[in-house]
Structure 1
Amino acid sequence: MENKENILMKKYDVGRLLGQGSFAKVYYGRNLKTGQSVAIKVIDKEKVLKIGLVNQTKREISVMGLIKHENIIQFYEVMATKTKIFFVMEYAKGGELFHKVSMGKLKEDIARKYFQQLICAVYFCHRRGVYHRDLKPENLLLDENGNLKVSDFGLNALSKSKRRDGLLHTTCGTPAYVAPEVISRKGYDGAKADIWSCGVILFVMLAGYLPFHDSNVIEMYRKISMAEYKCPHWFPPEARRLLSRILDSNPHTRISIDRIMENVWFRKGLNSNYARTQVGDTEKPPVETDEVLGSSCCETRPKKKMEFARPLSLNAFDIISLSTGFDLSGLFVDDDQRDEVQFTSAKPASHIMSKLEEIAYHLKLKVKKKDEESMRLEMSKEGRNGNLTVDVEIFEITSSFHYVEVKKRDGDTMEYRKMLKRNIKPALKEIVWAWQGEQHQ
């Protein structure tokens, strides 16, 4: 019989503590309806606000809702109270890979299996413009069958985060696993930085210790910057050569993830389906089967017959329908204070902008375009609380899939909601894939 104090939202029985960080704790949980085991990450909302991690938390939720893969921890839903935020995720019974490697080096075939699964998951993310940026054994979990699961996207970056030079500029990650260019603070390619971290993880699995380690952090950074490491004698020659290509201090000459997947040592034990679908042309139609690498690597793909047509390249976005569980605005403001809505669209950004300009013309709103992906709509006639002003921003998820935020900047909230309900939403119907917080019909 459950203790009522341990029941979350009448849906989950919350059990033992699995782990904790600076502002979050993770508990074991059980779905009361299905009996399924889950992991529940509990975040203190006050700490998130105080430390200034609101955007990071929202980004983690958004990204976890976009990626569904065999080797990535599945994100089920997010809930919130006035003081807490709850992430409900897949429970990995096997714990952290860190515990395995802390006991010593792994056998070559086991280390290769984990590396294959890691690369497969990272490749999947990169193809969707998502970079993890904190890959390390502590963030790699194992399920009950010993399969690897990438977790903790708290430091992830979407391709939208890139500056005009195409590079990311936030220094983050765990020092021993971080790429030289990240340390240099000159901007870096998120994909190449993730590849470096994967190389460090491979070294750790095969050696049982870090390639770059020193009690003096500055000296450790020097070793990382120079890619100064030494492989132990038991490393297979093929693995040594692959590591030398991955742990290349120059990101421009560092091996790409596609080349890693073509490597002879990496490919041992992989079936032909994997080679055709994961290394080949990404524009080819998906294979019929869901599993392209058995339990090692699999990408969820749509069935041939669908009840409705999904946008191109949406085969991995099974949970992008943005149900109430992914309505991020409610995490930090009460329902009656919401001044923004979001929707997804399979139309190009230019088409979305044109449609919004058309709506503005009919509503006699002034249009101020900030750039190709954002605009401001302003009512010329002053309302009860000044001129109603609405900001619109478009975020690219893939080249054919966009996430749009419509937010009231100034003016009367009731006027905004009335215009949204009666005019804007109906007029956008033909380009909207799904409104956030509503089930797709």
Structure 2
Amino acid sequence: MAGTPPSSRDPSPQPRRPASSAGRPKRGGLLLGRYELGRLLGHGTFAKVYHARHADTGEAVAIKVLDKEKALRNGLVPHIKREIAILRRVRHPNIVRLYEVMATKSKIYFVMEYVRGGELFARVAKGRLKEDIARRYFQQLISAVGFCHARGVFHRDLKPENLLVDESGDLKVSDFGLSAVADQFHTDGLLHTFCGTPSYVAPEVLARRGYDGAKADIWSCGVILFVLMAGYLPFHDQNLMAMYRKIYRGEFRCPRWFSRDLTSLLNRVLDTNPETRITVAQIMESRWFLKGFRPVRFYVEDDQVHSLADDENEVPDQGPSQPPQPPPPQQEDDGDDSGWESDSSVASCPATLSSEERRRPLGSLTRPVSLNAFDIISFSRGFNLSGLFEERGKEVRFVSAQPMQTIVTKLEEIAKVKSFAVRRKDWRVSLEGTRESEKGPLTIAAEVFELTPSLVVVEVKMKVGDREEYEDFCERELKPGMQNLVHHTASIPDILSDTE
């Protein structure tokens, strides 16, 4: 089906065929002039997944190829567009990356991260896992799922077949084809689409009376944990209706080798009442979960996800290991289905910096970005049109006549007071908290823009984390600390104020 993940398991090995024999567009022997297409990794009703390699960088990728005619005929285009939007929203070390999306008259191509280790299902099929290994996978799963929920994304088809393991043994959540976002909720605040795999689906989903997407995902995580530790399903029955009855009633028994802490956690996760079922935050506070747990710390810069080591103090050089470079940015889809009929390829995840800029030595500062007339208008309350182009959290902006180095240094001083990790690249500063919450550590981005040769605009906004914690930081630390740098006679209104 359209949501088939780019798995490295090959359920139907076939000899490699020339690209032209399958009707795939090529230019100079390459798929769309960039990718060398390899073996078939897997296929579904509407898609095939191939191993491929970027011709310039040599980076291995997985390419999901969808037949556009079938997608249009079966009304899948809205689902495909939603999946693209979701994958761009949930960039996390434990979620399979979407690099770019391309389309021709007949095909749609998802270029995704290639995960070499295969499906977690293949490992469980050989028998139950050791507790420490199962715990590590579960910790990474919960970190990724909690991240998705904090961004209003609900997977709805979590199972070992949709969890991949890379060569480092880290888990990657894949296949967001059945995912929902918060704006799909009905007026009752619930989802009503029946989807998922019966063995892993929550009882309230089976009841078809509406369900909370986050609570349903947590139930699926509990079933996955049971399978990892037991080697079999908690509610399995050859008779489908009998299995449904077991799920409704929560009838399962933990094996004798389960510890007391694990049994207690599973009883709270596999609670048939979604109102009393444990939350992600509570799972992350449980004794069994916390053993050996290392919170996932990362940051997103230049559209890339970077893991964050405990002793890391600056942005690492990406070097040759970065994902394949997308083509030059083109006009993004505006929601009109006619865009699917274009002959040219389109990139939905364009890089924000060129490869030459990315290789520039750290600390080599360039001239700040200049604001044009449209940017200046957008700073005025009531004329902020930027929301038409990208989602923005609560922002603080102000104008200053101070040297840019003074502004950046002051931001770094304020960050250290709150024990934030500081990352700097040119005139951009990232402040990263260490306190974990359901929404992850607070991360704040600050950037300096040139307004005139003597004036600059400083923009500070929350990227990730808890909104209340961010607002508290702005009121108690940021605004008092930066007050002396504000150019009070500036003509732009609402200086040092939260934009609406």
Whether the 8 Å CA contact 1:128–1:398 is kept in 2: the answer is: no
- Deviation of 1:292 after TM superposition, in Å, equals 6.7
| Residue in structure 1 matching 2:206, options 183, 194, 197 | 183
User: Distance in 2 between the 1:116 and 1:29 partners?
Assistant: 30
Q: Partner residue of 2:477? A: none
Alignment pair present for 1:144 and 2:161: no
Q: Partner residue of 1:284? A: none
- Deviation of 1:47 after TM superposition, in Å, equals 1.4
Alignment pair present for 1:291 and 2:308: yes
Q: Partner residue of 2:341? A: 333
Whether the 8 Å CA contact 1:134–1:173 is kept in 2: the answer is: yes
- Deviation of 1:233 after TM superposition, in Å, equals 1.2
In structure 2, relative to structure 1, the CA distance for the partners of 1:352 and 1:102 (3 Å cut) is farther
Alignment pair present for 1:83 and 2:106: yes
- Deviation of 1:61 after TM superposition, in Å, equals 0.7
User: Distance in 1 between the 2:313 and 2:88 partners?
Assistant: 16
**CA deviations over 1:159-199 (Å, ceiling 9, x no partner):** 11111221111111111111111111111111111000000
Q: Partner residue of 1:125? A: 148
In structure 2, relative to structure 1, the CA distance for the partners of 1:394 and 1:136 (3 Å cut) is farther
User: Distance in 2 between the 1:179 and 1:301 partners?
Assistant: 43
Q: Which moved more, 1:2-11 or 1:170-179?
A: 2-11
The residue matched to 1:35 in structure 2 has which SS? coil
| Residue in structure 2 matching 1:53, options 66, 71, 76 | 76
Identity of aligned residues (%): 55
User: Distance in 1 between the 2:208 and 2:390 partners?
Assistant: 25
| Residue in structure 1 matching 2:267, options 244, 265, 275 | 244
- Deviation of 1:54 after TM superposition, in Å, equals 1.4
In structure 2, relative to structure 1, the CA distance for the partners of 1:164 and 1:66 (3 Å cut) is same
Can you give the 5+ residue segments of structure 1 that lack an aligned partner in the other structure? 279-288, 295-299, 304-318, 337-350, 360-392, 402-432, 434-441
In structure 2, relative to structure 1, the CA distance for the partners of 1:155 and 1:227 (3 Å cut) is same
- Deviation of 1:42 after TM superposition, in Å, equals 0.6
Show the 5 A alignment for 1:206-221.
Answer: 206-221=229-244
Whether the 8 Å CA contact 1:290–1:301 is kept in 2: the answer is: no
Whether the 8 Å CA contact 1:101–1:208 is kept in 2: the answer is: yes
- Deviation of 1:227 after TM superposition, in Å, equals 1.0
Q: Partner residue of 2:360? A: none
- Deviation of 1:335 after TM superposition, in Å, equals 7.5
Show the 5 A alignment for 1:177-326.
Answer: 177-271=200-294, 274=295, 290-291=307-308, 323-324=329-330
In structure 2, relative to structure 1, the CA distance for the partners of 1:145 and 1:10 (3 Å cut) is same
Residue identity opposite 1:109 in structure 2? D
The residue matched to 1:181 in structure 2 has which SS? helix
User: Distance in 2 between the 1:245 and 1:28 partners?
Assistant: 40
Q: Partner residue of 2:133? A: 110
User: Distance in 2 between the 1:245 and 1:109 partners?
Assistant: 20
Show the 5 A alignment for 1:318-397.
Answer: 323-324=329-330, 327=333, 329=336, 332-334=340-342
Show the 5 A alignment for 1:54-69.
Answer: 54-69=77-92
The TM-score, its normalising length taken from structure 1, stands at 0.66
In structure 2, relative to structure 1, the CA distance for the partners of 1:153 and 1:33 (3 Å cut) is same
Residue identity opposite 2:292 in structure 1? G
Residue identity opposite 2:211 in structure 1? Y
User: Distance in 2 between the 1:116 and 1:220 partners?
Assistant: 28
In structure 2, relative to structure 1, the CA distance for the partners of 1:45 and 1:185 (3 Å cut) is same
Q: Which moved more, 1:215-224 or 1:100-109?
A: 215-224
Q: Partner residue of 2:57? A: 34
In structure 2, relative to structure 1, the CA distance for the partners of 1:353 and 1:63 (3 Å cut) is farther
The residue matched to 2:248 in structure 1 has which SS? helix
**CA deviations over 1:305-327 (Å, ceiling 9, x no partner):** xxxxxxxxxxxxxx9xx954963
Whether the 8 Å CA contact 2:103–2:342 is kept in 1: the answer is: no
In structure 2, relative to structure 1, the CA distance for the partners of 1:249 and 1:324 (3 Å cut) is farther
The residue matched to 2:341 in structure 1 has which SS? coil
User: Distance in 1 between the 2:33 and 2:59 partners?
Assistant: 15
- Deviation of 1:236 after TM superposition, in Å, equals 1.6
- Deviation of 1:11 after TM superposition, in Å, equals 0.7
The residue matched to 1:332 in structure 2 has which SS? helix
Whether the 8 Å CA contact 1:77–1:88 is kept in 2: the answer is: yes
User: Distance in 1 between the 2:314 and 2:209 partners?
Assistant: 40
Q: Partner residue of 1:425? A: none
**CA deviations over 1:325-351 (Å, ceiling 9, x no partner):** 963756523379xxxxxxxxxxxxxx9
Residue identity opposite 2:86 in structure 1? V
In structure 2, relative to structure 1, the CA distance for the partners of 1:399 and 1:180 (3 Å cut) is farther
The TM-score, its normalising length taken from structure 2, stands at 0.58
